[in-house]
Every structure is written in C-alpha cells, then in structure tokens.
Amino acid sequence: MTGGPRRTLIGMSGPPSPVVRPLWVALGFVLTGLGFVGLILPGFPGTVWFVLAAACFARGNPKWEAWLLSRPVVGELVRDYREGRGMPLRAKWIACTCIVVAVSFSLPRIPVLVGQVVWVLLGLAGVLCITLRVPTRRP
C-alpha cells in the first residue's frame, strides 16, 4: 500500500490548521488535568490521560509537548509508553488491585444481576489486559 497520505493520530494527516491548533492545546491541558487527578485518585488511571495529552500537544504546539515530557514522573510514563517498554511490575500489581477493589466496592450498588455480571466481566477484562497484553518493564 503506497501512495496514500500518511495516517497519524486520530486518522489525521498533515499539520493542523492554525485555527485548530489552540483547540488541540486546550484539549491537551484538559487531559493533563485528568492525568494529575489520576496520579492522586486510586483506581483512576493517570498514564492514559498523559499519553493522550502529549499527542494533543504534539498536534497543537510542540513546546507544550516538551513541557509535559519534562515533568519528572509524567515524562517518564509517556516516554515508556511511546517506546513500548510497558509497566513496572509494581505498577501492574497496583493497577490490578485497584480494579479488583473498585469492582468489589461498587458491585453491591448495582441493583440488577445482569449489570453486576457485566461489571465483573469488565473488571476481569481490565485485569487480563494489564497482565497479558501490557509488557512488564524489568529494572
């Protein structure tokens, strides 16, 4: 397959127009905020929001992408994801434990049995995804 435009994040090709760039930057800041919330709240992932924020900043203003990547913890998380290094074993344990705790505490609040079954299956899918699909980064 040759000759077609190169596809990038969210199926777009080429640089965004000057009108759209501020929207990418604004979305990057919203996602960065969600990422910092995710670093504080257990059970709420932070890395995914930072990865998406870096992608938005890259489309909107590379200066903000560089700023995000220069943050001590955040930059390492995003670089590890981009380079395919995976998660440290400790982080995998914490993520899986948070999923199990969140599902366990919220399960009694779901009044319908079908909803409870779906909720447990989603939790299991999350744990399986983390344990089987995400590579484990060794020190």
pLDDT (0 to 100) of residue 39 = 82
Global confidence as pTM: 0.63
Q: Based on the structure, what is the number of domains in the chain?
A: 2
Q: Among residues 32, 39, 133, which one has the least CA distance to residue 86?
A: 133
Which stretches does DSSP call E strand in the chain?
87-88, 136-137
For residues 21 and 34, membership in a common domain is answered with yes
For residues 13 and 45, membership in a common domain is answered with yes
pLDDT (0 to 100) of residue 2 = 44
Instruction: Give the domain range for residue 106.
Output: 87-137
- The residues pairing with 94 across neighbouring beta strands, listed in sequence order, are none
pLDDT digit string (tens) for 51-79?
A: 899 999 999 999 999 999 999 888 988 88
Look up residue 99 and give its two tokens.
């999923």
Task: Note whether residue 4 is domain-resident.
Answer: no
Q: Tell me the pLDDT band of 12, cut-offs 50, 70 and 90.
A: low
For residues 42 and 98, membership in a common domain is answered with no
* Residue 113: pLDDT over 60: yes
For residues 65 and 33, membership in a common domain is answered with yes
Task: Note whether residue 1 is domain-resident.
Answer: no
| 118 half-sphere exposure, CB direction, 13 A CA radius | 6
* Residue 10: pLDDT over 60: no
Domain finish residue from 82, 101, 129: 82
* Chain-centroid distance, C-alpha 72: 17
For residues 61 and 110, membership in a common domain is answered with no
Rg (CA), the chain: 18
* Residue 102: pLDDT over 90: no
Backbone angles phi, psi at 87, to 5 degrees: -110, 145
